[in-house]
Amino acid sequence: MGQVSNERLLEQTETVKEMIQTCIQCGTCTASCPNNEFMDITPRHMWRLLLTDHADAVFSSKSFIMCSSCYYCTLRCPRGLELTHAMSLLKQAASKLKLKQFQRSSLFYEAFLDSVKKHGRVREMEFMTNYFISMKNPVIPFAYASLGLKLMAKGKVRPEFPFGGKGKLTALFKKVAELEG
Amino acid sequence: MNKAIGKTLVAGAGLSGIRSALDLAETGYKVLLIDKSDHIGGLLCQLDNQFPTSKCGYCRMLPMFDRDKSSQHCLRKGLFHENIEILLSTQLISVEGEPGDLTITLKQNPSLIDSSLCTGCGECERVCPVLVNDSFNEGLTKRKAIYLPSPQSFSNAYTIDYTACTRCGECEKICPTGAIKFTEQDREKFKILVVDDEKIVRDSMKEWLKEEGFSVTTADSGQKALELMDDRSFNMMLTDIKMPGMDGVELLAKAKEKNEDLCVIMMTAYAAVDSAVDAMKQGALDYLTKPFDPDVLIAMTKKVYHEFEIAEGRVEQVDALILAGGTQFFKPELGKNPYGYGVLPGVVTGMEFERLISGTGPGKGKLIHPKTSRPVRKIAWFQCVGSRDVQTGAGFCSNVCCMISIKEAILAKEKFGPDIEATIFYMDMRTIGKSFDEYKLNAQNENQVRFVRARIHSLDENVAKGDGSLVARYVDMGGNIHKDDFDLVVLATGQRPAELMTEAALKNSIETNQWGFIETGSFSMVKTSRPGILSGGSLSGLKDISESVTCASAAALEACKIMHEAGKQIIGAADAGAIDADDMEDLAVMARENPRILTVLCSCSSDFSQRLDLESLKSHLDRIPENESVEIMDKLCTDEGWQTLIDMIQKTNPNRLVLGACLPCIHKHRIKELGKAAGFHPSLVETLDIISILNQYPDLEISKMTQRINRELKILISKARFKNPVPNERLESNQNALVIGGGIAGITAALSIADCGYHVDLVEKNDTIGGNLVWMDKTVDGLDIQEYLDEKVRQLESHSQVTIHKKTSIESAASHPGEIATLLKKEGETNDLGETILHGVTILATGGSQAPLEPDVDDSLKILTQKEFEIVVQDRKIEPEKLNTVVMIQCSGTRDEKHNYCSRVCCIRALKNALFLKEKNPDVQVYILYRDMMSYGFFEEYYTEAKQAGVIFFQYDSANKPVTEMHEDKVLVKTFDLLLDMPVEIEADCVIHATGILPDLPETLADQYGAALDTFHFFKEADSKFRPVDSMNYRVFSCGLSLKPCTIEEAVATAEAAAIRAIRILSHERLVSGKTVADTRTAICSLCELCVDTCPYGARSVDRLEEKIVIDPAACQGCGVCAAVCPSGSAVLEGLDMRLMLDSIDMVLS
């Protein structure tokens, strides 16, 4: 892990490690995961890495980012571990540490939430534009062009930029930030 | 006898209940054995094959000596013992009092069938119109409301399913012996009051209920109803809620004031269910929503009536109570049901699979898919369904499912050919017994059972294939996802506490653990929180057959102690009903008389005459000269018929009797009754069960059938002709015990026997007693071992009935009938001749020890065994606070080629030590390197606890064992992480090896007492399942580590079991033999001793002084092997001689 040391990562994943301490590596989570084939290491492998203090290896993979929070693993874990929650804690840690390899996902989430914060809902055009700007890479938008056009043709994405409709969610977001410290 | 006979109630007549009951009955105490079901035998009735023999073996629990006191047939068929009273369909309600004086209330379901009259002809079943799911086959087949409780039942007595029976009366009409009697007239005694303001409702209800035979009175208002209640009493009231004037709820309150026991059922419109529910809170039993179906009304009324029928409790006065309610299986359809049990085709529980492959199951021995009837080829077993799964409320391991699944997989292969593909999906394969690991390896290598370490997340139907096959998705150790198709999936369902028993336990304030299993005291597997109440078998959780049997015996021992302490007597041999010495002369006279045979045939209310030509049979048999007379009688099974037989005997004065009838008449105890009533000796009666032959060949024509029966009867007549009435021999038996080994098992066995009033000699080779417990500090549960040991040693040393021989070994031993002589040798004594002890039983409790570390590397306290670690920590030579990293290596030298068994205790010990280290020093890093974590049963909790405490577990496989290297002042441990697929190196301050247990039972010692060792050098049990502490020699037992690897608690249980098995023998001054025993014609015996070596029971020995073969008649089981092996024909079996055999053959051929 180039930018952040394993020790620092371990500090950040302490809570997750405690959460999954009673894992017996049965593999139920992995066999159940619908996104497993998109993951470079399996969930079970990832829990094992965390338990054996290889946090750097966890963060050099992108498995936890692929979690779509379907809660399938949590539902069936024989040890009753809250695995989906553990996944989201890892995502939060990655965002907090501003790890480069997760920048794309973190910025994507941020841009999404910015739009929600402002308007109380997602404004696709503004959201994607902000995301592209934050990525500071002029090539990225082209990769999304064909998908964008398809969505637009089906009316799934509204082309216009939003006006007004100032969101009233600021208080809510503030409270959440407060709670999360 | 002026003192009362001891009596114990055993609740539950399954495996463990029968064991407890038989142990006590054989000792000579009275037992009342009850069961809530309608047959005895419990769960095992449904299981045909047991691991490791793939056979049953239930019968091996039957008494070995004084056999004629009890039935000698399959225990799944039933049980009879003179000292045991059996009550079926009976439940335990309450227990009051103290040990030695318990008052127990029972509730017994009424039986509509007189089992002494039922011949099992099956006519009733044929006419019964009601079809319901057959619980015996786990609902896989259907049965009638009148049915045989189990296909093996011996007396073939039918029984009625009260909840399903409509009381149509068809069976009553057709029963040829009049065994079925519906108590319809009793229904008239059940008085019902119907209160409703609508006439039409009142009248129609009255009509419906009257049709069912109940007495019904009606009232149109609450006021009227109360007036009626002043005049007479009612059992049940059905009342409308909404009525003008007094409403139903008010009436309920007032009626309850008058009669507290009145059952009230509320009737209400659908919209007003709330008020009915409120009424139930105020004491109403149930409610009906209007408009209602008459069937619902009648069903509800019948239910109330049934409760009313059985409300009469039976009160019993006993000394002790043994709860043996067994276990229940987890129901996978409850909860999240991830495997679609009951939804997907082809998902069955383990028990259902056992029924599927059974000869008495739905496929009659063929394996067919339960839903689609397709052939089954690929079968998967899913382990840990409802165990080790907090999502199903089970933080424990169910202990037995791993072995059950392996057995089922092997059975499937054995029964249906090698084409069957068997796969077992598991988390840890818990092969936690001495031969279990070997069995698993056999399954894997010989039977090609596939073992996959994976837990299945969920199961789906293979829609693409559309043939009803199932697809399971799992991940292998390397992280690769697999999808496998299966025809059948067997769920290895975990155990749950038996519902009714738990209920009874709670009511009687007996403590249960957090999962509802009965809690037993410290270092005991049988003592509950209430004195005088004991738990036998799997009621306290999760036991296989041998453990259940061991605990059941241990519970019997505790009951025996209670009865002894309360000063209760046993039934002496004189009361035993065996042939007395006085009889012997009469018998000898009778044997010399010419045979005068009376042959009696029952016509079974002309049933037999329809299938048999009784008259021609009579004339055939009349021609045999010894046949004094042949009589045809009717309904021998009735009291009237039986009396005719007694009269006939008194009139004709025969000296032999041949009886051709049906089962109820030829029951052993019935024949014994005959002896009492007509002065006729039971051993001179020969019986033929005609009805079973008729049922066996239903299509045989009359003439052929007559021929067949004729032939069978002729054999019996020939037998009767040559019958030599042999008295049951009485053998003087020594009443002292010898216990070899002064470890906890030896101490417990000695104390238990001494506490029951018999003298014990305890021999210990060291100068201290206590064995392995001396170096132990605490158990994993935190119990203080030293305190426990000190107390036991104190009790032992101060016991008047115990003589302790320290620093003493066994020089030699010799067995004689009824007595064993052991020559002791005291260490350091120069005198050649040591002390000789005479004793009746021997308990080998020589123990075992932890295997040494090979090679024993150094003494620098870096590489230790578990025992060494525990000792150095106690001595503060290692201080946990100063350690940084500790590695524990499990299965170090066990479960390999050399010691191919699991030592059972090492994983628990590792968890204990890891938790200890973490407690003393939370910063210490502990790694446990294991193959399968054997944290069986409730120990699973400590596995979870260790994980929570931060202990890291690495799994390794046997092909790639961890290696250690000394690295300056550290030890470098190299292993391989199978999940991360990478080598791991750990620098440890200290490495602790779990080296397993080695037994310490010299073969020469076992041999001297006629016991044997198994392949692992432990004591070889007579039967590893059903006689787990006995040897083939009936006077030798073993317990503790010399028997098998076990925890302290388990060692104590085996010791208590061995003690009661010994007391069974010690309690008799004279032992009574069975009727058929071997003898030797000394005059023609050449003393080749072939018979001595051949006898499997050690019944034969050589008397060197007299120079002859002597036989222990109590040990002899009458198997006849000696007669077969004897070259000179001097070994004979009394009652089965050559003359008789040849004559029988002649008779059949004539």
Residues of B in contact with A45 (CB under 8 A): 479, 979-980
Comparison of pLDDT for B938 and A158, the residue scoring more: B938
Domain boundary among A98, A130, A154: A98
Q: Quick one: A33 and A82 in the same domain?
A: yes
Q: Which pLDDT belongs to residue B446?
A: 93
Domain shared by A109 and A93, yes or no: no
Q: Rounded to whole angstroms, what are the CA distances from B903 to B198, B436, B741, B998?
A: 76, 11, 20, 9
pLDDT of residue A1: 44
Residue B825 falls within a domain, yes or no? yes
What would the mean pLDDT of B920-939 be, rounded to a whole number? 94
Question: Do A29 and A46 share a domain, yes or no?
Answer: yes
Q: Average pLDDT of B53-67?
A: 88
Chain B residues whose beta carbon lies within 8 Å of the beta carbon of residue A25: 955, 979
Q: Looking at the structure, do residues A83 and A154 belong to the same domain, yes or no? A: no
> What tokens appear for B55 in the block?
């056979």
Let me know whether B744 and B822 are in one domain.
yes
Instruction: Name the residue with tokens 């032959």.
Output: B693
Instruction: Out of B525, B557, B574, pick the residue that ends a domain.
Output: B574
Find the range with the poorest average confidence among B56-70, B387-401, B620-634. B620-634
| Domain assignment present for B118 | no
B384 neighbourhood in chain A, CB within 8 Å: 78
- Cα distances from B1056 to residues B552, B673, B1040, in angstroms, run 10, 37, 10
Q: What is the pLDDT of residues B694-734, one digit of tens each?
A: 877 878 888 888 888 888 888 888 888 887 766 677 889 99
Same domain, A72 and A148: no
Decide if B116 is inside a domain. no
The verdict on a CB contact (< 8 Å) between B479 and A41 is yes
Q: What is the pLDDT of residues A53-70, one digit of tens each?
A: 999 999 999 899 999 999
Residue of B nearest to A37 (CA): B481
Q: What is the mean pLDDT of residues B785-793?
A: 96
Across the range B880-905, mean pLDDT stands at 91
- Average pLDDT, stretch B677-682? 71
Tell me what pLDDT residue B554 has.
Answer: 96
What average pLDDT does range B998-1026 have in this prediction? 94
Could you tell me if B1031 and B1021 are in contact, meaning their C-beta atoms sit under 8 angstroms apart? yes
Decide if B287 is inside a domain: yes
Instruction: Examine the domain organization and report whether B339 and B486 are in the same domain.
Output: yes
Domain that holds residue A55: 6-98
Which residues of B717-831 form beta strands (DSSP E)?
Answer: 730-732, 737-740, 760-763, 802-805, 808-816, 819-826
Domain ranges, residue B91: 7-100+319-326+498-574
User: Quick one: pLDDT at residue A140?
Assistant: 81
Q: Which of B427, B481, B979 shows the shortest C-beta gap to A31?
A: B481
- Give per-residue pLDDT as tens, B1131-1144: 988 777 778 888 88
Q: Which residue of A has its CA nearest to B984?
A: A52
Integer angstrom CA distances of residue B762 from B117, B346, B928, B1051 = 54, 57, 40, 17
Render pLDDT for B933-984 as a digit per residue (tens, 0 to 9).
999 999 999 999 999 999 999 999 888 999 998 888 889 999 999 888 899 9
Residue B407: half-sphere exposure toward Cβ, Cα within 13 Å: 24
Final residue belonging to a domain, choices B965, B996, B1027: B996
Q: Does B112 fall in a domain?
A: no
Q: Counting Cβ atoms within 10 Å, is residue B457 exposed (0-12), middle (13-18) or buried (19+)?
A: buried
**CB contact, 8 Å: A34 with chain B?**
no
Is the domain of B241 the same as that of B253? Answer: yes
* pLDDT attached to residue B2: 46
Strands (E), B201-275: 215-219, 236-240, 263-269
Q: Is A70 on the interface with B (CB under 8 A)?
A: no
Show which of A98, A113, A128 is a domain's final residue.
A98
Q: Are residues A80 and A126 in the same domain?
A: no
- Contacts with B, A 137-166, CB within 8 Å: none
Looking at residue B578, its pLDDT comes to 47
A25 to B456: CB separation less than 8 angstroms, yes or no = no
Torsion of CA B1027, B1031, B1036, B1041, to 10 degrees: -80
Tell me what pLDDT residue B70 has: 85
From the list A23, A31, A79, the residue facing B475 with the nearest CB is: A31
Residues B616 and B702 in one domain: yes
Confidence of residue B854 (pLDDT cuts 50, 70, 90): confident
Q: What integer pLDDT is reported at residue B270 of this predicted model?
A: 62
Residue B110 has pLDDT above 70, yes or no: yes
- What is the pTM assigned to this prediction? 0.86
Structurally, how many domains does chain A consist of?
2
The answer on pLDDT for B580 being more than 60 is: no
Say which CATH number the domain at B633 has: 3.40.50
B984 neighbourhood in chain A, CB within 8 Å: 52
| Residue B774 DSSP label | G
Q: How far apart are the first and last CA of chain A?
A: 26
Question: Same structural domain for residues B471 and B591?
Answer: no
Number of structural domains in chain B: 8
Residue A117 lies in a domain: yes
Domain membership flag for residue A53: yes
For residues A92 and A13, state if they share a domain. Answer: yes
Q: Do A45 and B980 touch (CB under 8 A)?
A: yes
Residues B452 and B361 grouped into a single domain: yes
Residues in chain B with CB shorter than 8 Å from the CB of A44 are 475, 479, 979
For residue B195, tell me if it sits in a domain: yes
Assess whether B234 and B376 both reside in one domain: no
Q: Is the pLDDT assigned to residue B830 strictly greater than 80? A: no
CATH number for B946: 3.50.50.60
Average pLDDT of the segment spanning B650-675: 76
Does residue B452 sit in the same domain as residue B345?
yes
Please indicate if any CB of chain A lies within 8 Å of the CB of B443.
no
B423 alpha carbon, distance to own chain's centre: 29
Domain annotation covers residue A1: no
Q: Are residues B511 and B484 in the same domain?
A: no
A86 lies in a domain? yes
Averaged confidence pLDDT in chain B: 87
* Percent of chain B at pLDDT exceeding 90: 45
Of A100-104, B847-851, B1040-1044, which range is least confident? A100-104
Q: Return the higher-pLDDT residue of B578 and B562.
A: B562
Residues A16 and A87 in one domain: yes
Contact A80 B391 (CB under 8 A): yes
Does one domain contain both A133 and A69? no
Same domain, A66 and A124: no
Q: Which of B620-634, B912-926, B1120-1134 has the highest mean pLDDT?
A: B912-926
Q: Which of A98, A117, A146 is the last residue of a domain?
A: A98
Say whether pLDDT at B605 is over 70.
no
Q: Does A10 touch chain B (CB under 8 A)?
A: no
pLDDT of residue B832: 67
pLDDT band for position B838 (50/70/90)? very high
| B633 & B770 share domain | no
Domain boundary among B574, B598, B628: B574
Cβ pair B390:A78 closer than 8 A: yes
pLDDT at A23: 94
Residue B314 falls inside a structural domain: no
Instruction: Output the pLDDT for position B615.
Output: 87
CATH number of the domain residue B200 falls in: 3.40.50.2300
**Token pair of B765, please?**
């080779």
Most confident of B310-314, B736-740, B957-961: B736-740
B505 domain-assigned:
yes
For B460, name the nearest residue in chain A, comparing CA atoms only.
Answer: A32
User: What are the tokens at B378?
Assistant: 């690929």
* Residues pairing with B92 in the sheet: B106
Are both A107 and A176 inside the same structural domain?
yes
CATH of residue B1111: 3.30.70.20
Q: Answer yes or no: do A110 and A84 share one domain.
A: no
DSSP string of A101-157, one letter each residue = GGHHHHHHHHHHHHHHHHHSS--HHHHHHHHHHHHT-TTHHHHHHHHHHHHHHTTSS
Residues contacting residue B1070 through CB under 8 Å, at least 6 positions apart: B573, B730, B731, B732, B733
Q: Which of residues 336-355 of B touch A (CB under 8 A)?
A: 336, 338
Question: What is the pLDDT at residue B999?
Answer: 95
pLDDT recorded at residue B172: 87
Q: Chain B partners of A76 at a C-beta cutoff of 8 Å?
A: 336, 338, 391, 457-458
What digits encode the pLDDT tens for the residues B270-300? 666 777 777 877 778 888 887 778 888 888 8
For residues B190 and B283, state if they share a domain: yes
Residues B492 and B507 in one domain: no
pLDDT tens, residue by residue, B491-510: 999 989 887 777 777 778 88
